[in-house]
Structure 1
């Protein structure tokens, strides 16, 4: 049981020659953030610079039988946090990440199970983050999340994620 004000221990960094096991990371995330098991995440996958979740709509239904905007916004924010945290882990860094700014644009109702994707807003975003971390010990990256219901883009979100100084 999580306690207010007590940080959850970070999982160990992956070995230098391997990447995170997505299922193990998702299990850790469910322990670290109690609401995660209720989000309906079925799978987390990495595709190049992107990260994606496959989700069931049922846990996020609203009174109209479509996706509840607040739940979808929380999911986009958390996926960006995961992208940043996993990027840091691939670079051998265990650091704290916080969302600094987030916005969503709802384009169509979410009427079934869906896929949520996350990628850097700018092609050079990860390199710029690495440079800022090396120079200042902290940095920020802009990420874009998109929610797809089949071929329909239902939601676009953007978030700035800050990597805090070590210690």
Structure 2
């Protein structure tokens, strides 16, 4: 399966989640070690006219989940990935579309994949952020994701 095909398969898997469809969230890219996701403001707006905090948290969590899931799939491994815990910081209101970016915060993917191969489980820490149109941060995320062998 080509890289584009595997990203399309992950995109289709994400779109099975009702909240992803409601948010109109979508994978944008997986490049330079970072997973990027986007969602328009309109379905994710709060009563103040800016991005709803729950949407910010969801998009960063989904970007992190997608990153860990894709790295395991690229290694030919079949796993269930869960967010175990996370910390979110809301920095500034966002009045534009949501653009999330997630990356490995600690360690390296090789160790994560090797641990999963050996034990049938592994964990990683992923950071994410949603940027403001001017380049600052609207929200930041740090989460621990756990991968478990299926079955």
What TM-score, normalized by structure 2, do the two folds share? 0.90
Aligned length: 149
Counterpart contact for 2:37–2:59, Cα < 8 Å:
no
Alignment CA distance shift 1:137-1:145 (3 Å): same
Counterpart contact for 1:30–1:36, Cα < 8 Å:
yes
Equivalent residue, structure 2, for 1:113: 97
Equivalent residue, structure 2, for 1:11: none
Counterpart contact for 1:105–1:156, Cα < 8 Å:
yes
Q: Does 1:93 align with 2:93?
A: no
Q: Does 1:126 align with 2:119?
A: no
Please give the root-mean-square deviation of Cα atoms over the aligned residues, in Å. Answer: 1.6
Counterpart contact for 2:11–2:26, Cα < 8 Å:
no
Q: Which has the larger displacement, 130-139 or 141-150?
A: 130-139
Structure 1 residue runs of 4 or more that deviate by more than 3 Å after TM superposition: none
Structure (1 or 2) with the larger CA radius of gyration: 1
More strand by share: 2
What TM-score, normalized by structure 1, do the two folds share? 0.82
Alignment CA distance shift 1:19-1:84 (3 Å): same
Equivalent residue, structure 1, for 2:61: 77
> For 2:11, which of 26, 30, 33 is the aligned residue?
26
Q: What SS is found at the alignment partner of 2:149?
A: coil
> For 1:38, which of 3, 17, 22 is the aligned residue?
22
Gaps of 5+ in 1: 1-14
> For 1:137, which of 106, 120, 123 is the aligned residue?
120
- Residue 27 of structure 1 deviates from its aligned partner by 2.6
- Residue 37 of structure 1 deviates from its aligned partner by 1.1
Mapped to 2, the partners of 1:43 and 1:94 lie a distance apart of: 20
